[in-house]
Amino acid sequence: MVDITHKNNTLRTAVAQATVAVGSAETITAIISKNIPKGDVFEMAKTAGLFAVKRTSDMIPDCHPLPIEYTSVEYAILNLEITITMTVKTIYKTGVEVEAMHGASVVALTMYDMLKPIDKNVTIKDIKLQHKRGGKSTYKDDGTPFTASVIVCSDSISAGQKEDKAGKAIIAKLEACGVTVDVYTIIPDEVDQIQEQVQQLQQKGNDLILFTGGTGLSPRDVTPEALVPLLDRQIPGIEEAIRNYGQERMPYAMLSRSLAGVIGESLVLALPGSTNGAKESMEAIFPAVLHVFKVLQGGKHY
């Protein structure tokens, strides 16, 4: 199975449809009046569909077992066709579109099985995903990509004694989310240089300014101290999300001092300097954190 351990639990919804076509109006009448020899077609098929949704991972090898938190089955009759609509919801790390399609297909197959004794012309068609929610949106309202600057704060890396890996991990995640990185620089972990970088990048107009390094407990780790006086507003929720995500994976994440806030219309983040710490921090908040720009513009709130 695909590795989803890096993902966050979010609300996932999927709606799938299947269509059962019968051979005569008499079959439709028998379904509605519940005169089918094998029983109530709609209720039996619905029950089978609910079981199918919950057992999808047993049937489809690459599907993850996941908690199903809501399932519904609706029917619509038009002439000789019955449309089945299956809705599935979960709060988990991966989507439920296969579960919804599996459920819809088993509802249709159950209907076929129950109707075949009275109608030899029943067919199943158009099993499809109608829509799903929980996808990614990484573009501004005007369709242009977000832009970002990545600054590595490290005395040893700036002196050429070590290779930067954390900054490159951050860039890889940004680019995977469709964010354009147009500044990448390495500076010593010094208050004046950090503050100077922020002022320069603000004038450049980047949407995101990301620092990595200098968030530990050593007296030389000064990135948060350098940034706090410059922030118009701190965003504790982003910091909490980063720390909570890391704590679930490594018990020492509680010692990191990640920082998040806004300066003007720019989101400023200070992330850990370790490669894993930087990777996990990015996984914890991207791409969802980009919603902050709608909030700053007075648009949607969470």
In tens, the pLDDT along 71-100 reads: 999 999 999 999 999 999 998 889 999 999
Token output for 118: 């009275």
What is the residue-averaged pLDDT of the chain? 91
For the chain, list the strands marked E by DSSP.
Answer: 10-21, 70-78, 81-92, 123-133, 147-153, 180-187, 208-212, 233-234, 259-263, 266-271
Q: Mean per-residue pLDDT for 274-298? A: 88
What is the reported pLDDT for 301?
47
**Does the domain at residues 147-296 carry the CATH identifier 3.40.50.620?**
no
Per DSSP, the three-state class of 171 is: helix
What are the residue boundaries of the structural domains of the chain, listed by start?
Answer: 10-133, 147-296
The third-level CATH classification (topology) of the domain covering 10-133 is Alpha-Beta Plaits (3.30.70)
- Range 33-43 average pLDDT: 96
Angle formed at CA 258 by CA 257 and CA 262, multiple of 5 degrees: 130
Model confidence at 294, in pLDDT bands (50, 70, 90)?
confident
Asked if 292 and 246 count as a contact pair (C-beta separation under 8 A), the reply is no
Answer yes or no: 113 catalytic: yes
Angle 173-176-181 from CA coordinates, rounded to 5°: 70
Q: For the whole prediction, is pTM greater than 0.75?
A: no
Residue 163 CA neighbour count, 13 Å, CB half: 3
Check residue 136 and give its pLDDT: 52
pLDDT band at 7 (very low <50, low <70, confident <90, very high): confident
pLDDT the model gives residue 291? 85
**Residues β-bridged to residue 39:** none
pLDDT at 272: 94
Which pLDDT score, from 0 to 100, does residue 143 have?
65
pLDDT at 140: 56
Check 3, 58, 62, 113 and give the catalytic one: 113
